[in-house]
Amino acid sequence: MNEKLLVQIDSCDDCKKCIDVCPTYTVSEEDLFSPLARLKSAKQIFEGKKVSEKIVESMYNCPECARCDEVCPKHIKISEIIALARVELVERGFAPLEGHKKIINGIMEKGNSVNGDPENRLDWLPDAFEERESDTLLYLGCLPSYLVKETAKSSYLLLKAAGVDFRILADEGCCGVYLYDAGAIDQAREMFAENTRRFNDLGIKKIITPCAGCYRCFKRYYPELIEEADFEVLHVVEVLHELVKTGKLRFKTGDKVLTYHDPCRLGRKEGLYDEPRELLGACGYEIDELEENRAMGMCCGAGAGIRSIYRNLSMEIASNLLDEASETVVTSCPFCVFNMNYASRKKGKDTNVKYITEVLYEMCDLP
């Protein structure tokens, strides 16, 4: 076992500060589903000790939101340790779980993680598909392509309206973040390498994506596993923010009040807090902040593969979040949009959750 990891785990003094901020513990009230218990279970896993089914579940029903990391006085990277414990579980044959295997097979066979028909990948595209060259790729991702299509369409239209030179791919495929998050690191490496080869062959230097999961994957996980992956990776919010700053994109002024939800992978993990708020502010919108926002923004409960297996837990986490929000919630991750809208419907709430570019496109001052 990695000594540094062990030192980190052993530095825990049982202060329990992490427990109160954990969304899976709050919803389930099960001790094993708390950060502290997961940390202790991770040690057991790394030491090769016997692992129960419940411990395996506790490692996989964590959305790796990193709220626990934020409050730990010992600066233990609990969520990263959980991710490494998943890799170990795969190596020891406890995972991927059956639910993971189903999604992984879909990714291999259909090139997406949401069981979409590859023939329909571009259904959202408002224009006829044009095969064009550009060193900038707008990489939409599986959710925007198939399930939250307004995300794909409005991101595409806004970039076009601002005159950005980019291309899209009719057979985009999957970034592979699901494999990485499941701990299936060898399969993830293979997929990352294949995508990297393809992008390099196409002369891609810059990737713009509306998906917080794809963003983190291309930006952090690809370079971690693949030496040749050195693309510039930008979230669409960063690009639009720059376009507004330089006067290439302008908005009409509205007067709505809405809640902005910080997606974990964009906020806490990448520090993108001001850009989306400033974009909404440029439309004249007032932001009704959630009590817990920015670095302590509440997780929507969908990430790191949990929704595909523990759907009710994901839904309950999202539902708690919506209880505090205004009628319209805007966020910068299509998976958060999908899960929060699902929770809103299932729980009979009136909250309408939108992807940020959908709102911005409505307010775009087109020439």
Q: Is 153 in the site for ligand SF4 (CB under 6 A)?
A: no
Residues 6 or more apart whose CB falls under 8 angstroms from that of 128 comprise none
Nearer to ligand SF4, 67 or 265 (CB): 67
Q: Which of the stretches 60-68, 180-188, 231-239, 240-248 binds ligand SF4 when contact is defined by CB under 6 A?
A: 60-68
Identify each DSSP E strand in the chain by its residue range: 136-138, 206-209, 232-235, 257-261, 286-287, 328-331, 352-355
Count of chain residues binding ligand SF4 (CB under 6 A): 27
CB contact at 8 A, 221 and 184: no
Residue type, 87: V
Query: Min. distance of Cβ 120 from ligand SF4 in angstroms?
Result: 33
Task: Please compute, for residue 149, the number of CA atoms within 13 A of its CA located in the half-sphere on the CB side.
Answer: 9
Query: Smallest Cα–Cα separation from 360: which of 150, 136, 146, 121?
Result: 150
Query: Min. distance of Cβ 316 from ligand SF4 in angstroms?
Result: 12
Task: Please compute, for residue 43, the number of CA atoms within 13 A of its CA located in the half-sphere on the CB side.
Answer: 14
Of positions 74, 92, 197, 248, contacts ligand SF4 by CB under 6 A: 74
90 bridge partner residues? none
Query: Smallest Cα–Cα separation from 41: which of 56, 26, 25, 19?
Result: 56
Q: Which of the stretches 66-74, 187-195, 251-259, 273-281 binds ligand SF4 when contact is defined by CB under 6 A?
A: 66-74
Q: Is 88 in the site for ligand SF4 (CB under 6 A)?
A: no
Of positions 8, 38, 149, 310, contacts ligand SF4 by CB under 6 A: 38
Query: Smallest Cα–Cα separation from 356: which of 229, 141, 212?
Result: 212
Of positions 42, 72, 164, 234, contacts ligand SF4 by CB under 6 A: 72
Q: How much of the chain is in helix, strand and coil states, percent to nearest 5?
A: 50, 10, 40
Q: Which of the stretches 6-14, 132-140, 216-224, 328-336 binds ligand SF4 when contact is defined by CB under 6 A?
A: 6-14
Of positions 23, 210, 276, 303, contacts ligand SF4 by CB under 6 A: 23
Write out the two tokens for 154: 């409005």
Of positions 8, 24, 155, 195, contacts ligand SF4 by CB under 6 A: 24
Nearer to ligand SF4, 292 or 358 (CB): 292
Query: Min. distance of Cβ 121 from ligand SF4 in angstroms?
Result: 32
Of positions 13, 119, 130, 291, contacts ligand SF4 by CB under 6 A: 13
CB contact at 8 A, 213 and 175: yes
Of positions 35, 173, 176, 210, contacts ligand SF4 by CB under 6 A: 35
CB contact at 8 A, 299 and 65: yes
Of positions 32, 42, 55, 68, contacts ligand SF4 by CB under 6 A: 68
Of positions 66, 152, 329, 330, contacts ligand SF4 by CB under 6 A: 66
Of positions 32, 45, 62, 340, contacts ligand SF4 by CB under 6 A: 62
Per-position b or e across 88-124, b if 16+ CB within 10 A of its CB? bbbeeebbbbebbeebbebbeebbbbbebebeebbeb
Of positions 27, 32, 36, 182, contacts ligand SF4 by CB under 6 A: 36
The Cα–Cα gap between 62 and 314 comes to: 10
Query: Min. distance of Cβ 74 from ligand SF4 in angstroms?
Result: 4
x-or-dash string of contact with ligand SF4, 110-149, rule CB under 6 A: ----------------------------------------
The Cα–Cα gap between 168 and 280 comes to: 26
Which residue in this structure is represented by tokens 């060898």? 186
Of positions 45, 55, 59, 76, contacts ligand SF4 by CB under 6 A: 76
Residues that bind ligand SF4 (CB under 6 A): 12-18, 21-24, 35-36, 38-39, 62-68, 72, 74, 76, 78-79
